[in-house]
Amino acid sequence: MKKVLFIEDESALQKTFGDILKQEGYEMISALDGETGTRLAKAQKPDLILLDLILPRVNGFEVLKKLKGDKETKDIPVIVLTNLEGIGDVEKAIELGATTYLVKAQYSLEEVVQKIKQALGE
Amino acid sequence: MRILFSSPVQCGILNLMNFKSILSQLNIFTQCKRYGLPLWQCPHFLFLVMGLIIAITALISYAIATRYVADPQLVALMVMIITAILFIIAVIITRSFERLTEANRMKSEFVSVVSHQLRSPLSNLRWAIELLMSGRLGKIEEKQTEYFKILKENSARMGELVSDLLIVSRIETAKLPLKKQEFSLEDLINNLIKEFEPFAKASNVEIKFEPEKNLPKVFSDPSQLRLVIENLLDNAIRYVREKGQVEIKLKKRDKDLYFEIKDTGVGIPREDQKYIFQKFFRSENILRYQTQGSGLGLYISKAIVERSGGKIGFKSEEGKGSTFWFTIPIK
């Protein structure tokens, strides 16, 4: 079973994605902050990471930098899933190594699930 | 927090910084750029011009007075007093303008922060409803579906309003950069028509698109122009009563592409036409038929078209329909 790590501080979203990804046949690991996310990525080696950018303590860009700077986690694809849409945010995330940048407000849940499947090569 | 500077070097640095900030305040071009105003509309520049005129007038008055008046010192004194009063008034006006600009900037930033904060719970709500409606978590009764639809539609409406408010705040704080690239406006319109087809069908509206042949690509921001056409197309369909037609044209005109959208809708009353591109404005007659809409679409469209180097306009007759148009430079 493929593992998806979801680094997101909104527990409501954790629940929604937990349910839908389980139905799609994936295992979801939750991290409610950046620090835990980075730690879990190293320990559990997920197949994909879903990453929010606005996170308590360590923000998503920092997490992305750490993940891509560590040889143990650098090859794990990262989908940024956020509502942050400021000048240069997309470019910065892609430059840091994100595979895809999705603005929550612009996608339906089903579309996000499709992007997850694509990133997992399914 | 209080910062104490003990060493002369630190004090020196502080003085230098103050001096620099005073110098930057005196730089009229920078100040006017900060407010996003052309020179001839910028109070700082006008203040300088006024000061020069006053100084020249004072000198001329003094020169005339010394030649023709018995007591030139008295005249000079009067001129100086009047000059001083005018100077004080000008300073007060400039300061008030600065305060107003600051208040406006803070308001835009407040809107931006609030909209951002609203986006997250809205996404949670929207996706949770979508998951429930998909039936993945269990079968939903027909009666429940009706209410889920209401929840879905209203959360989508809120989402659109929040997105519009965010765009407005970005326009006002000059944080909506154009990401220009070469693309086909014709393809963009075709895609949008496809997306709007279900809405048009439900509203009994037929959409016709007649592009000129062999149109060149444009060098502009496709996502922002998409917003413009989306707004115009949505309005054209939304304000048609019962049954109607929407005709879209795309032509080449000199160095521009010319887009036109003509509807057979309710039209805009003459007395409302001058306000149509204003923020939050919604025409009286429209409010009678349609309660939905934020009154931000045309304001956003105008800002985007003008930032892209184009022009936007319309003609309309109440009860007959409206024709909106805009131009976009090809290069």
CB contact under 8 A, A83 and B116: yes
Q: What is the C-alpha separation between B315 and B11, in angstroms, rounded?
A: 63
Report pLDDT for A4: 97
Q: What is the C-alpha separation between B323 and B313, in angstroms, rounded?
A: 9
Chain B residue numbers with beta carbons less than 8 Å from the beta carbon of A23 are 136
CB contact under 8 A, B120 and A83: yes
Domain-embedded: residue A105: yes
CB contact under 8 A, B130 and A12: no
Q: What is the C-alpha separation between B285 and B245, in angstroms, rounded?
A: 19
**Buried residues in B271-285 as b, exposed as e (16+ CB within 10 A):** ebbeebbeeeebbeb
**pLDDT higher than 90, residue A72:** yes
Facing residue for A12 by CB, picked from B124, B134, B137? B124
- For residue A74, give the 3-state DSSP assignment: coil
Domain-embedded: residue A13: yes
Domain-embedded: residue A14: yes
Q: Can you tell me the ipTM of this complex?
A: 0.89
Inter-chain CB pairs, A–B, below 8 Å:
45
**pTM for this prediction:** 0.70
Q: Which residues contact B31 (CB under 8 A, 6 or more apart)?
A: B25, B42, B44
Domain-embedded: residue A75: yes
Report pLDDT for A17: 95
Chain A residue numbers with beta carbons less than 8 Å from the beta carbon of B113 are none
Residue B136: DSSP 8-state: T
- The pLDDT tens digits along chain B (331 residues) read 333 444 444 445 545 556 666 666 667 777 777 666 677 777 778 878 888 887 888 788 778 877 777 777 777 788 788 888 888 888 888 888 888 888 887 887 787 778 778 888 999 999 999 999 998 888 989 899 999 999 999 998 888 888 888 888 888 877 777 889 999 999 999 999 999 999 999 999 999 999 999 999 999 999 999 999 999 999 999 888 888 999 999 999 999 999 999 999 889 998 889 899 998 888 777 766 665 677 899 999 999 999 999 999 999 998 899 999 999 999 8
Please give the residue range of the domain that contains residue A12. Answer: 3-117
CATH of the domain at A7: 3.40.50.2300
Domain-embedded: residue A85: yes
Pair A54, A77: CB distance under 8 Å: no
Report pLDDT for B174: 74
Report pLDDT for B216: 95
Pair A53, A78: CB distance under 8 Å: no
Residue B274: DSSP 8-state: G
Domain-embedded: residue A78: yes
Domain-embedded: residue A122: no
Chain A residue numbers with beta carbons less than 8 Å from the beta carbon of B128 are 12, 16
Domains in chain A: how many in total? 1
Domain-embedded: residue A55: yes
pLDDT, tens digit, 9 for 90 and up, residues A21-52 = 999 999 999 999 999 999 999 999 999 999 99
